[in-house]
Structure 1
Amino acid sequence: DAVADNLLNQNFNPVAPNQVWAGDVTYLRTGEGWMYLAIVMDLYSRRIVGWHIDKRMTTDLVSKAMMKAYNL
């Protein structure tokens, strides 16, 4: 399946850090052309815990953002 199960069931209010992370990918115009930014946010603290920027939107872009969050 390309769609993951809904494990949160719309419960976006964790009671401790690092219980729930959310992510997004957006694009930005830069002097080098379009760049893609992937972020990982801890929903408890609302802080960005991982991010990565690249010229291409690939699974590697998201994987690197997740690894930065995990290694924090």
Structure 2
Amino acid sequence: MKVEFIDRHKHEHGVQPICEALEQTDAAIAPSTYYAATARPEARRTIRDRELTEQITTIHAENYGVYGVRKVHAELKR
């Protein structure tokens, strides 16, 4: 969440000033941490979660938005 915030505003203010402004808050983040987070590849869990979310959204929409957790889960297992 912090990384996305910095990504949205770094073109206006720069990474270093944003990190300095966040130092005095609960959302403090070092510039090196930001750069490390942007350089590392996306986790397999994150990729899988995104795929499942798309499948769940599709199943729910195809069934007129009335399928609940149990039916969506059963459909995913099929």
Q: TM-score range by the shorter chain?
A: under 0.3
Q: Which has the higher helix share?
A: 2
Larger RCO, structures 1/2 (Cα 8 Å, 6+ apart): 1
TM-score when scaled to structure 2?
0.23
Which structure: larger Rg?
2
